[in-house]
Structures are given as structure tokens and as C-alpha cells.
Amino acid sequence: MESLRVALAERSYPIHIGAGVIDRAELYAPHLGTSAAIVTNEVVGPLYLARVKRALEAAGARAVEIVVPDGEQTKGWPMLDRVIDAMLAARLGRDSTIVALGGGVIGDLAGFAAATYQRGIAFIQIPTTLLAQVDSSVGGKTAINHARGKNMIGAFHQPRAVLSDVTTLDTLPPRELRAGLAEVIKHGVALDADFAAWLERSIERLVGRDREALAHAVRRSCELKAAIVAADERESGERALLNFGHTFGHAIETATGYGAWLHGEAVAAGMVMAAELSALMGRLKKNEASRVRDLVRRAGLPVAGPALSPERLIELMALDKKAAKGRTRFVVLDSIGRAALADDVEEALVRQAIVAAAQ
């Protein structure tokens, strides 16, 4: 097992990465009160719920099971109400802990429940997808979706611990694994040129589920994200760089209906659009934009968005949470491994970038 730390003063927390960490009661014990609610879905529950429940009970907590449907559609008011209703029925108090067992959807839903239940209680992240292990479980972003935009209702609420068990990736469907690779690629392309180069050498190993390669990808992604979260917890500056590809990607998800495109698939196409935009702005060399496209393609991810007009995507991007002073703000690349914010982007260039990505 390897452990990292997200440094946020009194709200600092560990990230434990390794095989079998979900079974280790001593990793839960420091963060538990008398009771814990395990929030999971109908796919992950049969695989890991019993193991997590045993570990929680061994750590001295009463464990309550809350199982919701699988899929992005779960991130809404009805399922949030269902989770909170189950917690009230079980008489869980403010000294209880929510345990989020699943991928990014479960982490977001359970985390937002923890942020709002009785004005906020503790929670632990147990990410079981690659996307959640490398990205969404770290940093305290919690949310549900709105019909007009993804993650529009939420809160910053840091977990008490993250337990990333790499053996859970063995049961991950291939499509979900590839979707997680999009966030791994994002970390390299936006933040770390050496990591991006390693990904170019190792992408086939990752797609093939090489355990050593996956463990390195999880560890390095968490290191990069933890450093940025420690410097800019609430995304007032540097943390926004982690949204490379997401302005385009969230518009794709909203336009197609949540769940039709997986989050990582939408981000993958969004990264290609963002790289093309960076080249059109004269900030990124054309061959480096091609490197982004090739890496996304080799990961088995889409390089172009769905059959939507550029105007429709631009309309949806105007509602993006990262908009500032009435202008859509984009994360662009000055080079591989060096992202920057741009809020003075001509709409014509954005339209050209969307078209270029599809060619």
C-alpha cells in the first residue's frame, strides 16, 4: 500500500492506494463515529458491499446499506432524497459517516448527501472505477445534475479518507476503463509533460489492465491533483486547469442526455477540441495537438463529439460553471504539460475547433 496526503490544514486527509485496502478496518477506524451508511449501486454492491460492511463493523461501527440504481441519471434530486430518507429511517445522527462505494456518480451523490445531511457529516470515498480513483474521489467536489447543466447543484465537501483498491479495476467493464483513461490523459497533457510522455509509451499496457501500469497511473494522477487542490481548494485559480476538456465535454453530456456518453468519453472528445482550439489560437504547436488526438485514439476513446451543431455546443458552454464575467472560460494548452486559462476566445475559433476535431 502507498499513501499520499491532501494537505488542507485541519481538513487534510490520506489517499491509500493498493490491493485489498477496502478490507482493512484500521484504515476506516480513525474516521468513523457510531454508525456508517454505505451508499453504493446495484452493480458495485454485489461485488464489494459485504466486504466493506465487514470492515466497518470490525472497526466498531454499525453499518447501514443504501443501494441506488446505476448510471448518471442517479445524480438527481429523487435519488438524493432516497439516500437521505434511508439515513433518517436508520436514525443516523451527526456523528455518522457516509461511505461512498462506487464510481464518480456514487461519489458525487453520496458526497453531496454528506455535505447537506444535518448540515454536514463525515464521508469516506471508496472509488471502484479508474475515473474515480484518478480524479473525482479527490478534491471534495460533490454534486447532482440539473436538466440545464451537469453538476449545477453541489458543494465542496472534503472526504476524511480515500481508499483506492486497485483490484476493483479487475471487474471494471472495458468501456468504463477507457473512460477513466481520459482523466489520466488529462492530468498528463494539462499538467505534466513527463507523465504525458510515459502515457504515450504505456497506453497499450493501461488498456490491457497491466496492474503495475495502472497503479502508477493512479498514484501519479492523485499526486498531481492533490498538489493543485492543496493550493486552490475552491477553484479560484489554478484548480480550474483540471477542467481541461471539460467545458466541451460537459456540453456534450448535457446535449446528449446524461449517460448516453460516459463522462470520460465526453472529456476525451472535449480534450481534442480544446487542443484544436489551442492550435487555432496560435498557442499550441500543431504536432502537439496531433499528439493529444493520437493518445486519445489509442486509448480507444472518441476524438470527435456527437452529431451536434457547433452552435448547440456553444450555447450549452455559455452555461458552464467556469464562466466568468459573462464569458465562457476555456482551459487551453501552451504546450503538452502546460495548461492555461483563456476567457477572451473568439466564438468563431471555438466553432472551427469543434469542426476540426471531427475531421
Please identify every residue annotated as catalytic.
119, 141, 183, 225, 235, 239, 243, 246, 250, 263
246-256 and 263-280 are packed helices; what angle lies between their axes, rounded to 10 degrees?
130
Cα–Cα distance for residue pair 245/258, rounded to 1 Å: 17
Q: How far is CA 199 from CA 193, 217, 222, 272, in A?
A: 10, 8, 15, 16
Q: Is 326 left (phi over 0), alpha (psi -120 to 50) or beta?
A: left
Instruction: Answer whether 162's CB lies under 8 Å from 205's CB.
Output: no
DSSP run (H or E) holding 112 = helix 104-116
Instruction: Answer whether 329's CB lies under 8 Å from 341's CB.
Output: yes
Residue of 212, 199, 241, 189 whose CA lies nearest to 18: 212
Pairing of strands 141-146, 149-156: antiparallel
Instruction: Answer whether 317's CB lies under 8 Å from 328's CB.
Output: yes
Cα–Cα distance for residue pair 133/137, rounded to 1 Å: 6
**Who contacts 212 (Cβ-Cβ below 8 Å, separation ≥6)?**
none
The strand ranges marked E within 80-201 are 97-102, 122-127, 141-146, 149-156, 161-165
286-298 and 193-207 are packed helices; what angle lies between their axes, rounded to 10 degrees?
30
DSSP 323: -
Query: Rounded to 5 degrees, what angle do the CA atoms 331, 128, 214 make?
Result: 70
Instruction: Answer whether 339's CB lies under 8 Å from 331's CB.
Output: yes
Give the amino acid at 248: F
Instruction: Answer whether 175's CB lies under 8 Å from 301's CB.
Output: no
